[in-house]
Amino acid sequence: MPQSMFRLIGQIVRKIWRVLRPEFVIGRSVAELVLMLFSPIVTFVYGGVVVNSSFSLIGSKGLFWTLPDLAHVLLIDRLFQLLPTDPIRFAALSALMVFSILGDALDVTKVIAQRRRARSTTREGGRSVQPRASMHSADQVPVAEPRDTLTTPEYAIAQLRGMEDNRGHKHLYSFLNWKYGEQLGENIFTHGNLTFPLAAYPAKPSQLLVPQSALRSFRNQPADASPLLKNSELFDLIQLAGLRQNKPFYNRPTYTMRHRADEEQGISLDCEIGTYFDMVRTCDSLEWEIMNLVSELKSSSEKAFKSFARRLTLRNKLHAEVNNPVREGARRSVAISISTLIAFYDGYGVSMLLRKRSEEVAVHPSLLHVLPSFMFQPASVEYNEEFSIVHNILREYLEELFSNPEPEPGQVNPHFFYSDPRLAPLQQLLSEDRAQFYFTGIAVNLLSLRPEVCTVLLIKDEHWYQEHRPRFKFNPEFYDPNLPEGVANEKVPVVNKIPLTMDDDAYEQLVHPRTMVPCGAFAFWAGVKLLRSLPEVQARIR
């Protein structure tokens, strides 16, 4: 082999070493990178052919040649002997070497990109942050300290963020419209030329002033007794990502959907009790599966849709056992969420609150959302007493706008937060009819097949925002609470308040399938439609 080839490979190895940096190149990983680069030469010398040496840089259990590889070597070697002349053999061999080197270089490039992303999440104050072992409790299992660089909290976070990169896939929402709109007849939510991954069911006029009408019944017992259709891959990543901040991962009870009722008097949910962990394994895992595979969806043809649908293993199992999982909660723990659009009078008319979610949250990082937006769940052991839309909104109002901490598991008093002085002004406004809750409808996220009750809190006091704005301390689920309103970043702006007088084209720059949490989009547009229809609001924005 010419010495120039060895010098070239040596230069490549040194460059990769400098990119990865020593603190990320340990033990097996170094050997794998070097052997990956040298594999074309090894195979060239061994059999005059180039073979995939059957190891993976991520999660490999050892470097070895398998029997199929050796058979491949012998077979290709025999084929080379059938070529008529040495120049032809040399030309074929050279072509194989080029393709092999390009393939290996591509693999190395992917690894470098993954490690750069992982490294970017481990730097704080210019120093590398070492993950700490922790116990995530309230029905939790201890999580061991990860040993492999690629199974660290930083790696898990990179994987979760990678899922979000596919949110703008141009065929994804057409596929969901085909599967749930055309095949199951559900009402797919669109606005203007935008199609959202949602089935949406507006509240009837008689329900608007009665948020509790979104809930038809509740039985205080676990969901379907038959085994749940679970997948733990996403759950494991979320749990691992939590190690970075030593953040507790509580398995709290949740109110779940048993059945969605569409009746003449309105839309509503029959509910029961479930758990947060089971929701992640049975619902959010559906979104994880489809978002990770959507790059394989190459067109919006029916043939492409059918082919892609066959790849969705967990979703296929669910559809095989539940006729319409948009309406039925069988075989899953279908936790219900609540999204509330806060609108308020100010000196200029009427404004609304939107806020960007933090990059640190595991689900829907860096997307816009209305607030408060949260899981519908009891904070105490009094499940029946806490089965209330308004009660839960008031608790989350304190948590998300003022960073009031969540209660510890096992809280006994369901009204523990009612004496908080930051809630008193809103309670007074509600009692004096200067604030009002509205129920605007139910949206179902077609990625996770989970429902969300959408509401509006209209505050008719011009002083509320100015008096409370200095006290706002958005909780860590939202983007840096110290940033002022209106600041923009790479893809999604950080927004505090936006006026109701903006036209729809301007709103669509913010409320877009790529930039907005799915159900938050319906909560926003349904809220805007309601507000524009109220005579007292119309009088303020003319």
- The confidence score (pLDDT) of residue 452 equals 98
Provide mean pLDDT across the span 360-382.
83
pLDDT of 81 > 60? The answer is yes
Position 273 confidence tier, pLDDT thresholds 50, 70, 90: very high
Please check the confidence at residue 19 and state whether its pLDDT lies above 80: no
124 vs 210 pLDDT, higher one:
210
pLDDT band at 119 (very low <50, low <70, confident <90, very high): very low
Residue 40 scores a pLDDT above 70: no
**Angle, helix 67-82 to helix 28-47, in steps of 10 degrees:** 30
**Position 424 confidence tier, pLDDT thresholds 50, 70, 90:** very high
- Residue 76 tokens read as 């290709």
Q: Say if CB 26 and CB 147 are below 8 A apart.
A: no
* Mean pLDDT computed over 81-94: 73
The 10s digit of each residue's pLDDT in 195-229 is 999 999 999 999 999 999 999 999 987 656 678 89
Find all residues with CB under 8 Å of 157, minimum gap 6, and list them.
121, 241, 244
Q: pLDDT category, 106, cuts 50, 70, 90?
A: low
Residue 370 and residue 523 in contact, taking contact as beta carbons nearer than 8 Å: yes
Which is more confidently placed, 113 or 406?
406
Q: For 393-397, what is the mean pLDDT?
A: 95
Enumerate residues 6+ apart whose C-beta is below 8 A from 101: 40
Mean pLDDT across the chain: 77
Q: Is the pLDDT of residue 408 over 90?
A: no
Q: Within 10 A of 38 (CB to CB), how many other CB atoms are there?
A: 14
pLDDT at 184: 95
The per-residue pLDDT for 385 is: 95
Residue 228 has a pLDDT of: 87
Work out the average pLDDT over 136-161: 55
Please check the confidence at residue 57 and state whether its pLDDT lies above 50. no
265-288 average pLDDT score? 95
The Cα 351–Cα 257 span in angstroms is 33
Residues 6+ apart with CB under 8 A from 205: none
Residue at token pair 């790849």: 311
pLDDT of residue 202: 98
Average pLDDT over residues 129-140: 34
As a whole number, mean pLDDT of residues 82-110 equals: 66
Q: According to the model, what pLDDT value does residue 270 have?
A: 97
Length in residues, the chain: 542
pLDDT of res. 392: 97
Who's near 373: CB < 8 A, 6+ residues apart?
A: 337, 338, 339, 340, 396, 400, 517, 520, 523
Most confident of 97-101, 206-210, 506-510: 206-210
- In whole angstroms, give the CA distance from residue 62 to residue 111: 17
What pLDDT was estimated at residue 58?
31
